[in-house]
Copies of this chain bind each other. A is one copy, B any other.
Amino acid sequence: MKETVSEFALIQRYFAALTPPSSSVELGIGDDCALLRVPSDHSLAVSIDTQVEGVHFPIAAEAEQIGSRVACCALSDLAAMGATPLWATLALTLPNADAAWLEAFSRGLGTVLKRFNIALVGGDTTQGPLVITLQVHGAVAPTKALRRSGAKVGDIIYVTGFLGDGAAGLAFLQGQLPLDAAAAAYVSERFYAPEPQLHAGQAIADIASSAIDISDGLLADLTHITSASGVGAQINVEQLPLNPLWARSLTQEQAQHWALTGGDDYQLCFTLSPSQQAPIQAHAIGVITHEQKLVCLRDGQPVVLNQGGYEHFN
C-alpha cells in the first residue's frame, strides 16, 4: 500500500545530518540496510523502545522535547547494561510531514545523539498516528555486561540519583502539582531530557552484581532484579534521595510514594557486595534479603502505601 513517498522522502534531509562519519559505520542511511562493525571481542547490546503520543508524553509536548525524551529513555537501557552506545535506528510514524515539527524533533533527537557520539544509521518514516520507536545499539565486553540476575543476599542496593522526579514532572505537566519557576524548570527538564546514566553504568559494569534502569518505578524495577536473582529486598524509605525543589511541595509520605512507585526516573538501581565501595556517587537505599519479597521500612517499621503499585510487590 502506497504512502505519499515523495513527501516522506523529504524527511530524510532532517535525519541524514545525524549520521556523522564513524569508523564503526560501513554504510549508513540510504540503502536497504545499514552495515555496521561491532568492536572485536564485544557483544552487541540492543534495546527497542516506543513512545506514543498521549501515553508516554502529553499531547501538548513540543517536537524538540519529544525527540530528546525518546533518545534519553532509549539510551537508559544501554546504561543499565554498562554498554557503550554506538548507533540508533528510528521508526517514525507521524500524521503528516510538517517541516517545522520535523526540524524541531530532529534537533531534539540529534542533540542527545551527538552528545553521546551516536550515529543515526537507519530509519523508516511512515504516515499514521504519532508513534516513535527508537532502537539503540551499543557494545559491551561479555564479562562486564550488567544483568538483572546477579544480586546476592547482603548486597547493598544503590540508586544513581533523585527518585520521583519523573512522577513530579508528569504531575506538573498535567497541572496537578503547582511549582515555582525553578522547580517547574527542573522537573520539566527531567521529564523531557532524563539523563541516561551511561557513564555510571560503564563505571559499575565491572563490579555491580546486578543493575536495571528505573523506568516503571523503583519497586517495579527492583522486583525485576529480585525475581531474576531469586532474592528479596528491603528498602529504607527515609534513605530515598528526593529533590527538595519539588518534594517540599508535598508531604514526606507523598514524596516517598512517588519515589517508590513513580515511573520515568531513568536512574540506575544496582546492587553491590558490601565489601565493595561504589565507584560513583550513589545513594544506598536498602539491602538484598533472603526471603523473596520486597519490604519497605520507615524508621525500621514496615510501611504499606495507600495507592497503586505497592501491594503487588509485597
Contact = CB atoms under 8 A, between A and B. Distances in A.
Interface string A171-190: 00000000000000000000
A27 interface: yes
Nearest to A40: B40
Given A26-B142, A36-B43, A135-B89, A123 B48 contact: yes
Interface stretch (A1-9, A231-239, A288-296): A1-9
Contact of A1 (B1, B40, B147, B264): B264
A212 B32 CA distance: 7
Contacts of A52: 93, 126-129
A27 B212 CA distance: 15
A66 interface: no
Interface string A75-116: 011101101000001110100000000000000000000000
Contacts of A44: 35-38, 44
Taken together, the copies of this chain in the complex come to 2
A18 interface: no
Interface of A: 1-3, 5-6, 26-27, 30-38, 40, 43-58, 76-78, 80-81, 83, 89-91, 93, 121-124, 126-129, 131, 133, 135, 137-138, 140, 142, 145, 147-149, 170, 211-213, 216, 220, 228, 263-264, 312
4 tightest Cβ-Cβ pairs between the two chains A and B? A52-B128, A32-B80, A33-B45, A91-B133
